[in-house]
Each structure stands twice: as structure tokens, then as C-alpha cells.
Amino acid sequence: MASATDPGTRPGADTSSQGSATVTPKETRPRSSAAADMPTAEHILGAKSVGVIFSTQTDPTTGQMHAHKCSASVVESPGRNLILTAGHCAGGNAAFVPWYRAEYALDKQTYGYYRIAPADWFIDNRYVHNSKAAISDLDFAFARLAPNTSGKNAQDVVGANTLARTPGYNNDVTMVGYPSAKNNTPEDHGVRCPTRTEALPGFYQIQAKCRGMYGGVSGGPWFSKIDWTTGTGEIIGNVGGCNGGGNDANVDWLTYSPVHGDWFFKLYDEARANQHVEHGSTYQQPKLPYSMGSGDLWTHARLLASGEYTGDGKGDLIVVWTDGEVTLYTGDGNGGFTGERQMAAANATWKDVKSLTGGDFSGGSGSDLLVVWNSGEVRILPDVGSNGLGGGIKIADSGSIWKYADQVAGGNFGTANHVTDLLVRWSDGEVTDYTAVGDKGFGTEHQLRKADDAWRSATLVTAGDFTGGANWDTLIRWADGRVIQYQDTSPSGLGKEIQMAAPASIWTHDTVMTAGAYDANNWPDDLLIRWSDGETTLYTRTGNTFGDEHTLVQPR
């Protein structure tokens, strides 16, 4: 095994990233490019239930057994003898070696080896090897293992993983696999990579970015959770899919997985029952799960507004794009989104909007938008989710002082039971709070800060209830990268000051932000950020510090 030759790697592989590199903490990495802003696979001794597949046929030239070609994992089955791998890894006489150690001979492996006969492979008959078409959605396979030389089944020796449906396109996963020996020196051990998935457009597949997932990891599991003590967990994907699982974009850091849906579990049931079933000759792609799109798209998201616009009690998002298009994204109440609809096509009117915020200014059943144009015109657009953008209610004319309102944020700053207050950062650095804003006008003005040159660099402003008090809190991102939270903002002052990010932090790349109620606690303490590279993230349950980060859109 140690002297076996390598059959080759996936096209475009780059060997420069090999070694025992660890994952760089996200908050210290630059957001300048996709290649820089991603993890690197880390070498590990392995997970007991994950191993390699060898072809047991010998090379006719050397007479030696080929090097390991793919990865696989033991999954639960009545016969306690089933593995999951990729469809393009299936076929022929083979052997599975869990927790493979290159330094040991085949008969000295810690947990033994398990033979696979040609008749014991289970693959969807419609799958086409290494296809770049939709049929690559079916790039998964199972195999039944013979007992090891001691007569024991694999599941009894190393345990087994559970299989779950892929929840959607955006998931936190840990990929585990064994790169081929050629690109995995000197260790030739397993690697793992915690990362985040997104959609592979046009396919019933997900993709993830990670350096070091070279040829040989095909078939390896994508864990939604794993116990490293037992070496088992829950699997929601496997390396495979378009072009055999990656590198069709001529990069070494894109890896794909089929979505584990109906066809996947049909094949799993057949393998569990030891049945080979023909599924006809055509494949009809299922309806693709919803995706918010790419980082390239989201670099054009210019303004964001949170609110409950659709009437289902869940937080939604309105986006104004650089060309003036306006889009409503429907929240799922669990930190994600289920769909979108265009509220206005690209147009000059909305391209000229300076600032906007969600709120309940008209007293209707849904959230409203308060919109400030560069001209100084201000309008309240009531219940936009059901009424559309429309003409709304004008509360300031073109040419008014509001052309100097650089940032506005709706909130509940202790004067009502609804979001009817408006905080404004003016171009000269003055900060004011307007209470009881509505269709009759701006209510009562309270000066919170006099004009101040320093406050002119308060680049982004939003408001939410991060502390759980009676009053909402104000969040400001300064030009130097500081993020400051002012707790319990009220007509008498901005409130207690808490620094959440220091100067020169990664937050200099925070380009647009809004706060709303996007997760299951239905509380306006979730912070949604669009970064300079298009990455869009949600920090749920933010308090004195940023909450748990969830990537909604991957960077370009």
C-alpha cells in the first residue's frame, strides 16, 4: 500500500496548500477575495467510520494494487455492513479500509478491511460517470461490505453514521475525506474542513469552498454534526456531483455534493434491502431549493430595511439595488429566507433614494417603509408587503432640510409600543430622535448630539433591541472600523456606550447593515450585514457582542 502508484487527481489540483494547516479564524481573515476568505483542510488521524476505497485489481504494468481512489463512510443498515460513497467511485472488486493509516500494511490496519464484490454496489442506473449535466445530481452510491478477516461487520467495529436530508442550500458542515497520496504527502492521512455550503446554480447540488480537498476525497461525507470521540455523526452530503465533485471552474477549492433528497433515500432503501432496481432512462430534476444568489449579485445591494412585510409574523428584508430595483425577501423565521419578489424594476426614482428604514409609522397591519430621497423628499409607504411601494404619504417636500439626513433608523426608543420613532444622523454630525412619527409628520424632535465633526464619520446606523430592555439600542459602524452599541436609546440620550469592534477591524468592510427579527425568538436582535465582497451574513441574537454568524450569501 505504501508503494502503490497514484491513479491521478481531479483536474486543476494545486499542491501548494498541503501540510497540517489549521483553519484561520474568520474574523482575522481579509474579505478581499473568495480564495483568501476560506478555510484550509486540516490533517487528522481520521474518524473511525470514514475510510478509503481501494480497487483490488492490480496494475498490469507494476503488478501492484492501485492507490486508494475514493473516500467512504459507514452508514446505518440492518445488515450492519453498508457504506456511502460517490457514484463515480462505484464498481468492480474493491476494499474499504476505515480509519486508513498509510504507514500500516493492509493486514495491519487498526480496524481491518472489508471487501466489496462487483454485485454489491448500488448506484442509480441513470447516473453518467463524471457528468457535467443535471444527471450528476445522482452522483452517490452505496456498497455492501463482506465481513473482515475476523468475521465482523464494519458497523460492529467502527459504528455507523445516520443519514439526513440536506436541509437546504446553506448549511454548516464538516467535510472529511482522504486526498490521493500524490497530493497528500507526507501524511497520506484524512483531512477535515469545517465550512459553509451554498447553492450550485442549475443543479440539485450544494457547493463549499475549502483549500486542500483534492482528488481522492470523492465520496467523503459532509457532516452536519459529528462526535470525534466515536467517529460518527449525521451526514447531509457527500463529495460528488458535477464533473465528479469539483474543479470544473479550474480552481482547486470548489467541492460539490448532491442534495440528499428523494432519489438518494430511494437508493439507500434499496441498498438496505439488498435490491437492485431500475429507474428508467430519464432523470427529471426536482424543484431546486431556494437560493439568495451569489456574492457578485449582492455587491449591488445598496440599502437594506428590516420589517414584517408579508403578514406571517416572520422578519423579512427589503433590498434596494444600485440600479434602483427593489426586492422583498421572505423570511422563514429561522434565520433564512424562502423566496423573493420584485417590488420595482430598475428605475431612476429608487436609484436616487438616500436612506430608508422599516417601521410601523402608519398603524397598519404590516411594516412600512420610511424613505428619504437625495432631494430631501421623505415619504412613508404603508404596508408595502400588501400595498406595494405606491405613492405613499409625503411628509417632507423636495428641497427640505431632509436632504442632509445621511442615515435614518426606525426604532422603539421608549415612547410607544410600536416602531414609530426615528433616529437621524445628519451630514454635519448632529444626531436627533423623532418620536411618534406618522402620517401627520415627524412628531417631536429631540436632539441627542449637537453637530460634531467626529460624528460625521458614523458611516452606518441601525437600531434593534439587543439588550432586551424597554428601549431599543442604536448600533453604529464608524469609518475606522469601530462598531459601537448605544444601549437603551431614548429622547434624553443615546445611552450607554459599548464597543463591539475595535478600530481597523474587519468591520471596515461592513458596507450595508440592518437589524430585525429573523430567527425563532422573533425578537429584533438579529444583525444582517452585506460585506464589501458581497458576502451577506446574519448575526442572530446579538447582545453586548455579535451573535452566532450565519452566512446567507457566500463571497464573490
The model's pLDDT over 176-185, given as tens digits with 9 standing for 90+, comes to 999 987 777 6
DSSP-derived letter for residue 66 is P
pLDDT tens string 322-335: 999 999 999 999 99
Task: For the chain, give the mean pLDDT.
Answer: 89
Q: How far apart are CA 220 and CA 241, in angstroms?
A: 12
- What pLDDT is stored for residue 330 in this prediction? 97
How many whole angstroms separate alpha carbon 13 and alpha carbon 19? 15
Residues 146-175 have pLDDT tens digits of 999 999 999 999 999 999 999 888 889 999
64 pLDDT above the threshold of 50: yes
Give the residue-averaged pLDDT of 234-241: 98
What is the share, in percent, of the chain residues with pLDDT greater than 70?
90
pLDDT band at 12 (very low <50, low <70, confident <90, very high): very low
In whole angstroms, what is the distance from residue 228 CA to residue 222 CA? 14
User: Which of 21-35, 111-125, 131-145, 214-228 has the least mean pLDDT?
Assistant: 21-35
CA 86 to chain centre: 23
The structural domains of the chain, with segments of one domain joined by +, span 33-272, 295-553
Residue-level pLDDT at 24: 30
Report the share of the chain in percent with pLDDT over 90.
74
The dihedral sign for the CA sequence 105, 108, 113, 118: positive
**Which amino acid would we find at residue 93?**
N
The grid cell for 151 is 468475521
Provide CB contacts within 8 A for 136, sequence distance 6+. Answer: 127, 128, 130, 203, 205, 240, 241, 242, 243, 258
Q: Given a cut of 50, is residue 553 above it in pLDDT?
A: yes
Overall pTM surpassing 0.75 (yes/no):
no
Q: How many CB atoms lie within 10 A of CB 397?
A: 11
Lowest mean pLDDT across 54-58, 70-74, 360-364, 474-478: 54-58
From CA 346, how far away is CA 328, in angstroms rounded? Answer: 14
- What pLDDT does 185 receive? 67
The CATH architecture annotation of domain 295-553 reads: 5 Propeller (2.115)
Res 58: pLDDT: 55
Rg (CA), the chain: 28
Task: Write out pLDDT tens, residues 400-449.
Answer: 999 999 999 999 997 777 899 999 999 999 999 999 999 899 999 999 99
Query: For 189-201, how does the pLDDT look when each residue is reduced to its tens digit (9 = 90+)?
Result: 899 999 988 888 8
Write out the DSSP string of 300-346: TEEEEEEE--SSSSS-EEEEEETTS-EEEEEE-SSSSEEEEEEEE-S
pLDDT tens string 525-541: 999 999 999 999 999 99
- What is the tens place of the pLDDT at every residue in 469-513? 889 999 999 999 999 999 999 999 999 999 999 999 999 999 999
pLDDT at 365 over 70: yes
- pLDDT tops 70 at residue 356: yes
Whether the CB-CB separation of 235 and 161 falls below 8 Å is answered with yes
Q: Which residues contact 138 (CB under 8 A, 6 or more apart)?
A: 87, 124, 126, 127, 258, 263, 283
The pLDDT tens digits for 261-300 are: 999 999 999 999 999 999 999 999 988 778 888 888 999 9
pLDDT of residue 312: 93
More confident residue, 15 or 537: 537
Partners of residue 256 on adjacent β-strands: 207
Is residue 394's pLDDT more than 80?
Answer: yes
Reading phi first (left if > 0) and then psi (alpha if -120 to 50, else beta), residue 134 is in alpha
> Which residue(s) pair with 292 in the sheet?
none
Contact 19, 41 (CB under 8 A): no
CATH architecture of 33-272: Beta Barrel (2.40)
Mean pLDDT of 115-143: 95
Confidence at 551, pLDDT banded by 50, 70, 90: confident
